[in-house]
Amino acid sequence: MSHRLAHLCGVVVWAGLGLAHAMTLSGGIQHTETPAHQPPKPGRVGLELEITPQNFPLVVAVPYGLPAYTAGLQPGDVLLAADNQSLLALPLPAVDAAISDQVGHTITFKVHRKKGSQLLTINVTVAP
């Protein structure tokens, strides 16, 4: 059995979170509290991954037009590392957490491409 995750950089992690306001009415006056710190909105990389039986994060889809596609990642690529952090033998949630979703950050992926048995470095800049 393989596990799959659509990783659009944070979409899974932040889905459903919105701007939270606590409002109270006292004596006809409305008081609004806005949280002092809100998490930044996650960016998008555009990868669909699964963990192989050998515990490798495998790219199964790269949606057209998203940063991973533009940078050259392809279905069938195995992600070895992201920003010098090994992704091998990690469960899918840990792989997802290791891939930055900070808009504007350039992620350096070390990739094994079966086609031609190539070891590649691919830089992907996280989009808003």
Q: Where is pLDDT greater, at 2 or 110?
A: 110
pLDDT digit string, tens, across residues 55-92: 999 999 999 999 999 999 999 999 999 999 999 999 99
Residue 37's pLDDT band, with cuts at 50, 70 and 90, is low
Q: Where are the domains of the chain?
A: 3-125
| Phi and psi at residue 55, to the nearest 5° | 70, 35
Yes or no: domain 3-125 corresponds to CATH 2.60.220.30: no
What's the pLDDT score for residue 36?
A: 62
Amino acid residing at 30: Q
Give the residue carrying structure tokens 């992907």: 124
Three-state SS string over 22-56 comes to: EEEEECCEEEEECCCCCCCCCCECCEEEEECCCCC
**DSSP code, position 127:** B
pLDDT tens, residue by residue, 93-117:
999 999 988 999 999 999 999 888 8
Binned at pLDDT 50, 70 and 90, residue 1 comes out as very low
Tell me if residue 112 falls in helix, strand or coil.
Answer: strand
Does 33 or 43 have the greater pLDDT score? 43
The region that residue 71 occupies, defined by phi over 0 for left and psi between -120 and 50 for alpha, beta otherwise, is alpha
Helix (H) or strand (E) holding 70: helix 67-71
User: Tokens in use for 46?
Assistant: 């555009």
